[in-house]
Structure 1
Amino acid sequence: MNITVDKQPNCTATLRVEVPSDAVNSERERILSAYASQAKIQGFRPGKAPRKVIEARYKNSISEELQERLVRKAFDEALQKEALKVLNFGNPADFSENPDGSVSFNSTLTLAPEIELPEYKGVAVKEPSAEISDEDINKNLESLRERFAEYEDIEDRAAENGDLAVLDYSSTLDGQPLEEAVGKSVGYLSSREGFWMKLDEQSFLPGFTAQLVGAKPGDEKEITVTVPEDFPVADLRSKELVFAVTVKELKKAVLPELDDELAAKLTGGKSLEELKSLLTQQMSAEKRRKIDDYKVNQIVEHFNSQVDFELPEALLRQETQSQADSLVQRGAQSGMSEEELAAQQAEIFATAGVQARTNLKTNFILQEIAHKENIIVNDQELVQHLASIATQRKENPKKFIKQLQKEGRIPGIRNSMLIGKAIDFILEHATVEEVSGEPEEIESTES
């Protein structure tokens, strides 16, 4: 075969193939012999039908199989000859049977990026303590008490921090209704009636609730706030918004006693001490998960800052769409309307694009490390993993695995396991520094 590979930007290459007539004829003869030995044609005993009859009867099938075999052999030879890391061979195009009996075709290949790995042993990783303090337990218990709170009207004083205010409000920007000013839906920032808001700095926009302290039911207030620079809607960042607010009601939360009775309600009969023990276990597992995620994020950030390379455009588009779909789904689950999601389409795709690039870069880097360190996921490990998932879902493992094979999801699962192994390898060889604080607090300080 005459094979040429023309590498191009964005991890693509054009494969051009010409198969000499003698090779084409040899392959066609092998296919024809197989058909002749197995074909059942009326009037002839099996294997005794003339070649011309076989060729006429199965002409299209023989041509299709010949093309498939020649393409497959060309791809195999290209891999060996060019030492290519091909992600997708594409669909052969311009398949031609030439007058001299030779065959030619070409195909657009998607290649894995060429990566120069940085040093990946001894990466500096910070690891917060996994200890659960009494303060952590008490905060969680207070949150549980709030779930069973009853709310009483406040009639004898003005609003204080920690109270709940029931508000009607509308907003303007430069004297115009907010949605008119920005030309699109802005969701809850526009207006609400009967909106419950806790008076603390974690509620709504920074500085909003502080201006409600001292208000009483029936008061009307004009509240001016500046939108934070990291606000999800880019058009509103650093803008000064004016809210016309009516305080309809003030309420305070009356929390139940923290005792065995409350614990029994929460757990179905357990005591307060048993509830504390259960919370400690749950919080320990959750904190361990957060710490593991934090360590992985450090690995991802390290490699993405150390090395850069081209990515396959097709994969980048696919991953960007996948990330955008996930963002839209999370937005819908959090209560955002279709109009609000549509208004943020540009921001969603911008965020999705950044995350997609990070995901693909990390994936390729970790695959390369796995290859260099001879890290693999063997069939036994894969089957055990899939069987475990099936058991958790209370499904028959064989049927579950067969369905995954049918859907073509097995390679992706194997790759995810490989990436996990590569991360474990890097963490095993990392330089770990124990630090204080919660993972999210450390990330916030560092960013």
Structure 2
Amino acid sequence: MATAVETLGKLERRITISFPLTDVRTEVEKRLKVQARTAKAPGFRPGKVPLKMVAAQYGYQIESEVLNDKVGRAFNDAANENNLRVAGFPNIVPKEEAAEGQLAFDATFEVYPEVVIGDLTAVEIETVQADVSEAEIDKTIDILRKQRVHFHTKGEAGEHGDGGEAIAANGDRVTVDFVGSIDGVEFPGGKAEGYAFVLGEGRMLPEFEAATLGLKVGESKTFPLSFPEDYHGKDVAGKTASFTITLQKLEWAHLPEVDAEFAKSLGVADGDLAKMREDIKVNLQREVAGRVKARNKEAVMDALIKVAELEVPKTLIAQDSERLAEMTRQDMAQRGMNVKDVPFPAELFAEKAERRVRLGLILSQLVGDNKLQATPEQVKAQIEDFAQSYEDPREVLKYYYSDRRRLGEIEALVLEENVVTYVLGLSKVTTKAVAFDELMGSNAQA
């Protein structure tokens, strides 16, 4: 039996559920008898253990199970009878005052909100577009060359030359010994031998790199170095140290020529440079299309958040915060980080969780109202698009279709794209061209 629904807040509700104590006792006895058929105890054959001993061993556990079952069933029945869409899990606590022979519980919970979406035709959304030019292809080739760089001793003649005068310059790889002190005292982390880095990459502080420039092998230099106030080493942050460096080894960078051998190293079997450039262009266009799609989807989601009115259930935010915290912990552990004793307070993820839940409710409303569900044809097309960048597309199809959870991820992705297309089709859209470098440097995420 359940009482009438009490309204405690905009979304919070409470009902009291109760049932006869005899119902619980009857069910407990029934389950104890079932348990007794297989119960074991010293001195008794299986199934011959006295019921009192079975009750002593399993009674508490069985009683808890019966209560959970009856309370859960009674709550679900009450929610269905009152047409309640319960958000998250209810908080159920025993009620102190109950009629004689009855057990009573208060169930406090939240319901899903009404989602009111404003006039989408009045919404202004700025989308972006970007192109891949020959300059972007050239830049990518330069990056690929740098990834395949070889270092040779500077000043010594070799197959590729001598690299010029044996003086440290930007682009050279230097190997140094160094020691630093503050007020004449060496400090932890301020000393190393055989430390290698490439000048000009910004790996070292500017004063350190500047002091290394112009040195020859065997030469030393002493110089002051001021650590920034926000330096990661708190013991030296904001302080000035005296460093002495000695250049032990000097190497110049040889970049591979853009020739047939270079093209072959990128997977172009016949070494054709035109085909190499075309392959790079196709890959860049695919990457640009993905970034553009992500930026435009983010713009649509931001617009929907502004135009929709709804209360977000706190229960759902709390659940998603915990989910995000656990996902972060697992991700860091997979990266090899020791997170065993690292706290991951769920409240740190509350803002992100609130946005995710809010968008989920808005999208659900839009999809239901406008029949924007993902079709099997759309899902297949999306998977086939993913498969294009793999050697065996059939394996990609098998990977997704063999697991309902993975397939669900694709369905959710297609559903979001359907929403984006629908909203952009109604709203006032302007398109801005963005530079390739700006787009590739963005980290837009839905």
Q: 1:104 maps to what in 2?
A: 104
Q: Distance in 1 between matches of 2:112 and 2:184?
A: 54
CA distance in 2, matches of 1:97, 1:382: 58
- Aligned partner of 1:289 in structure 2 is 290
- Separation in 1, partners of 2:8, 2:293: 40
- Structure 1 segment 6-405 matched on structure 2, within 5 A: 7=8, 13=12, 15-18=14-17, 67-80=71-84, 86-90=86-90, 92-94=92-94, 99=99, 104-110=104-110, 122-129=123-130, 131-155=131-155, 156-169=165-178, 193-205=193-205, 208-218=208-218, 219-222=220-223, 224-227=225-228, 239=238, 242=241, 244=243, 245-267=245-267, 269-270=269-270, 271-299=272-300, 311-312=314-315, 314-315=318-319, 317-322=321-326, 324-325=328-329, 328-329=332-333, 332=335, 338=338, 357-372=351-366, 374-375=369-370, 378=373, 381=376, 384=379, 388=383, 392-393=395-396, 395=398, 400-401=403-404, 404=405
- 1:124-145 alpha-carbon deviations (Å, 9 max, x no partner): 324142x212221112212222
Equivalent residue for 1:425? Answer: 422
| CA shift for structure 1 position 284 | 0.9
Preserved contact between residue 226 and residue 240 of structure 2 (Cα < 8 Å): yes
Say if 1:161 and 1:199, in contact at 8 Å, map to a contact too. yes
Match of 1:3, SS?
coil
1:323–1:119 CA distance, 2 compared to 1 (3 A): farther
1:376 and 1:357 map into 2 onto residues whose CA distance is 30
Q: Secondary structure at the match of 2:403?
A: helix
Q: How big is the shift at 1:278?
A: 0.6
1:16 is paired with a residue whose SS is: strand
Aligned length: 380
Label 1:297 to 1:378 Cα distance change in 2 as closer, same or farther (>3 A): closer
CA spacing shift, 1:62–1:159, aligned 2, 3 Å: closer
The SS at the match of 1:324 is helix
- Mean Cα deviation higher: 374-383 or 102-111: 374-383
**Taking structure 1 as reference, are residues 94 and 394 closer, same or farther at Cα in structure 2, changes over 3 Å only?**
same
Show CA shifts across 1:290-332 (max 9, x none): 22223334455666789997644522541441453266358x4
Contact 1:197–1:203 (CA under 8 A) maintained in structure 2 = yes
Please state how far the C-alpha of 1:353 moved relative to its aligned partner.
6.2
Give unpaired runs (5+ residues) of structure 1. Answer: 36-58, 180-188
TM-score, L = length of structure 1: 0.64
C-alpha contact (below 8 Å) 1:367/1:419 kept by paired residues: no
Amino acid at match of 2:176: L
Instruction: Say whether the 8 Å CA contact 2:87–2:111 is kept in structure 1.
Output: yes
- Deviations along 1:142-192, one digit per CA (max 9) or x if unpaired, are 22223333211124432212222223456678887776xxxxxxxxx7665
